[in-house]
Amino acid sequence: SAWKSTKVQECELSYLTSDQIHDLLSELQKGKNRHAAMVTKVCLATGARWSEAESLEARHILNDQIQFAGTKSGKIRSIPVNTELAQELRSHHIKAETGQRLFAPCYSAFRDAIERSGIKLQNGQLTHVLRHTFASHFMMNGGNILVLQRSLGHANLTMTMRYAHLAPDHLQEVVKLNPLSALTLG
């Protein structure tokens, strides 16, 4: 047939708990690389990929928004952040050190902090755990799946739906919105 069903194998997505996030940020602050903690915060606050966050330039912080260019989809997306983080990013930037870029490379500093904190991750999940953590906590805190899709920059909902089951009221609308619930059965 012309239509072939493609089944996407769901892999277990690991995400960090609030305690693990705290421990990781603490380890990153202790490390020698001053950029790793900030890149981690950007990823946790926006759901950005490590490479998107690490390559940010000063001009990408506009008011209280971070603009991500050079994304996997090729589209530019702007994600709002709280004023404190935007200010912290602006004051973090030292032109003499990194030029227009906000951060120097810091992937290995992140890897070292994960190891020091004792956090065990699945293979291939190193920095990507931050993106999964953003998405998972966003849904567990009652976030809208369409807002999550736009935040992550997914072209369609298929990828984003991996997080839907984490919503506290996942599928609960079925109880209220099915046609039988509107009938008064006597």
Q: Is 35 a catalytic residue?
A: no
The values of phi and psi at residue 153, to 5°, are 80, 25
Per annotation, catalytic residue among 22, 30, 59, 72 = 72
Per annotation, catalytic residue among 34, 128, 150, 162 = 128
Q: Is 49 a catalytic residue?
A: yes
Q: Is 60 a catalytic residue?
A: no
Per annotation, catalytic residue among 35, 77, 93, 131 = 131
Per annotation, catalytic residue among 49, 60, 93, 137 = 49
Q: Is 154 a catalytic residue?
A: yes
Q: Is 162 a catalytic residue?
A: no
Q: Is 116 a catalytic residue?
A: no
By annotation, the residues acting in catalysis are 49, 72, 128, 131, 154, 163
